[in-house]
Amino acid sequence: MALLEQAFDLCEDGKFEDALQFYDEALKKEPDNIQALIDKATTLQNIGRLKQSIKFYQKAIDLDSKNTDALVNMGSALHSLEKYDEAIALYDKVIKLDKKNAMALAYKGLSLGEQGKIQDAIKYFKKSLKIDSNYDLPRVSIEMAKEILRNLRKQAKTQ
């Protein structure tokens, strides 16, 4: 669909508000277009309109409950709203559908880390890296998590 391509190009240029108009046009013509729903949600998420983005991810999930892109991205938006348990539930659903989804594993690690479950976070970062050794997010995150653990151990020894 040409409208989606134009919207994508606008997003690439950082013109998110303009892109949203093209997504709206596309969704007027095809309200059940899952890719348009996800792309609009992602665009909304990129400009910080998280609650709106979640509504569009949910519409996509209502149409296809196994759409891993919608599930992971909605989890990411919930994570940004500090709703870590809800985010983890979505990541778990993705992992159940696709055990080799490196992004869901890494994002679950991030949410676990935010909850202070550093050991568990490291476990998920490692799982993600086993699938995609070039994935920067878990590689950087695992180092940060290990540093947090080292600092916690140092604090415990000095008390």
- Based on the fold, state whether residues 57 and 98 are members of the same structural domain: no
Query: Between the CA atoms of 56, 58, 59 and 60, what dihedral angle is there, to the nearest 10 degrees?
Result: 90
Residue 118 pLDDT class (50, 70, 90 cuts): very high
CATH number of the CATH domain containing 27: 1.25.40.10
Residue that terminates a domain, selected from 29, 64, 99:
64
Tokens matching residue 71: 């599930």
- Does residue 74 contact residue 54 with C-beta atoms inside 8 Å? yes
Q: What is the per-residue pLDDT for 1?
A: 58
What would the 3-class secondary structure string for 14-55 be?
Answer: CCHHHHHHHHHHHHHHCCCCHHHHHHHHHHHHHCCCHHHHHH
**For range 129-153, the mean pLDDT:** 88
Q: What is the per-residue pLDDT for 89?
A: 98
- Does residue 71 contact residue 101 with C-beta atoms inside 8 Å? no
pTM score > 0.85 for this model? Answer: yes
Q: What is the per-residue pLDDT for 159?
A: 73
Number of domains in the chain: 2
For residue 16, CA distances in Å to 7, 11, 100, 150 come to 8, 5, 31, 41
Angstrom distance (rounded) from CA 41 to CA 49 = 9
| Residue 109 domain boundaries | 91-159
Q: What is the per-residue pLDDT for 64?
A: 97
- Based on the fold, state whether residues 55 and 99 are members of the same structural domain: no
DSSP state of 134: T
Predicted confidence (pLDDT) per residue in 45-102, tens digit: 999 999 999 999 999 999 999 999 999 999 999 999 999 999 999 999 999 999 999 9
- The yes-or-no verdict on residue 103 having pLDDT over 80 is yes
Q: What is the mean pLDDT of the chain?
A: 94
